Structure 1
Amino acid sequence: MLEKLFSTKMSADKRKLQLRFSKIRSGNKKAAKITAVVLFAAIIISVISASVYVAVERFENKVSDNPKINELYALKETYIGDAPRVRNILELIYPGEYEISGIELKTDVKPYGLTVNFKVDDRAKFRFIDENALNRMSGILFSLIKNVDELRYLIYDSYSKGDDDTFYGAYYTRQNLCDRLKNNIVTPSYIASATKDLKTFEEYYNLLNATSVAANDSEFLKAVYEFIGEDCEIVVNSSIGVDIAVDNLTESEVRMLERILRANSKIGKYYGTGIYTHLITYDIRDFKKDEYKKCAFLYHIHPDMGLVIVGENFITDSEFNELKSFIVNKSF
């Protein structure tokens, strides 16, 4: 009887113990689940906090997605006399097809200026300089270098014989940059305030990159260079010209133009059409031989056909004098 009671008591205690362990295990599983949920929530909160921090950092203008903008903005408040910082700015923004051969800083008297000398291998490959690239570079320089008043760009090649023998040059002030950009947003005051914070500078930088003006490589200039050849160039400020109403030409004037321009009776056929043509002469330089000559062109723009070259020719000095006298008379 005692043995039976003892066995019964032991069995009951065993069941209670098993039930207690079961509850403990169940509690541990719940605790583990709660711990896992808490850890997961903590991770999510950390990720969100990090994202919010980055967003706030960007909102507060401390960082840009564009590394170049960050590098440029770090160079704000540069002064024209600080050659290393000026050079650092140029290294970040200059057109890659050019090589910077030197810079000159004018810091003794106002207007303070920066001249950038570029070197290319062959000017024949750079007949038509990208004005947009120069505009953007100027916009960045004016915004970062607060006391620079003037910018000059001079481009040389292996045929340049000295500092004065540049085949291309451009001059900028804050005002003429705004005039070149041809919009109402970029003004001298906007340029001056472009670096007040990173957000404003990034907007300004993107606006400069999005602004494009008409290219200089007109159809007519392409035709001129095709005629004069790769080794020749137009001498700067050498052109003279006049618009001509063909219907107003005398017979002797038509014959003179056809003779000098080798037009072979092409001008007379425009009688009665009411068209205007443009006559222009240029001094031409063979930059490899350093030899000079003159040429003349007569052309018009047809509404459907586009550019029409009526006559073109290399001309003698006496022929140039005839055309010059004609141009002067028709200009009044």
Structure 2
Amino acid sequence: MRPYAVWLSLGANLGDRAETIRAALRQIDTVTATRLVQVASFYETAPWGKLDQPGFINTAAEIETSLPLYDLLHAMQRIEQALGRVRHEHWGARTIDIDLLAAEGKTSDTAELRLPHPYLTERAFVLRPLLDIAPELVVAGRTVRDWWAEPAIQGQQISRAAEVSSPWPLQMIAAADEAGGIGLAGQLLVHAPEDMAHFKDLTLGHIVVMGRRTQQSLPGAAPLQGRINIVLSRTQGDIPGFSVCHSLTELWQLLGRLTLAQPQRKVWCIGGGEIYRLLLPYTEAIALTRLRGRYRADTFFPDITAQFREEVQTAGEAQTAVASFCRLVRRHGGQ
């Protein structure tokens, strides 16, 4: 089956709500023939339907899948069950709720699945996160942006969730030429002293996550000093000075322990191309060195045009003869 896009709504109001949603997103990304494309911010919302229960954290996600629609639905239900969802009460409190909202080129009208979701256009806690990632998605003849502007929707209480507004606080750092090239034969395209200094200034004292080839490209294949070094690889064995994670689940567990111990630590993804693509849905900001010109390259940075925007810089700031330095942040609210 040809891959198609599906938009999901996720919500939780019991236990560690934000971490439960993050756990659901990680499991969604491991479903057969399915990948996580992007995730909205987290929003704090009042309970819906049954009011005598805690508030919710809600978000939305876009995935791409080749699974038949009902197979996907059953996979989402298995994730709910694995994370402790028990369907005791309609609109009642729940550890996690994962709803299919809409699917590219597909509809359903059965007792098991109605698609598009019948309440999609009526609930701010569904529309506001969806506005982050799919403002032009058309539902019932109107875009998500248009539905969000309805007075009845604007009157519903919803706000960015303080302290937990990102699906995961990852940042990326990369140097790319004008064609998006970042590497050739496992090595950087250029070794510019100003870029090396910029990299060190941002990552020193923090956590760096890399793939196996990036680890092997480091000087002497040794860990970067003054940083916690993590390699994400399905097959790599132990490496002295590095923590090796063999799956996203292992990575999240390790990062959870490290950031809990020292919350001020930032988590930087430093490459290479496959790791950038894998972790992009969990990334809030990117420190990008734009190399002037084009180089021979066999590895490229993902296309981030639709998902990220460049922060405004002062004229002439962060410019050198070799490169310019910029910071890109995830678009929210259809920006």
The question of a shared fold, defined as TM-score above 0.5 by the shorter chain, is answered with no
Kindly indicate which of the two structures has a greater share of residues assigned to strand: 2
> Does 1 or 2 have the higher relative contact order (CA < 8 Å, sep 6+)?
2
The structure having more radius of gyration, on CA atoms, is 1
TM-score norm. by structure 1 comes to 0.22
TM-score norm. by structure 2 comes to 0.22
Kindly indicate which of the two structures has a greater share of residues assigned to helix: 1
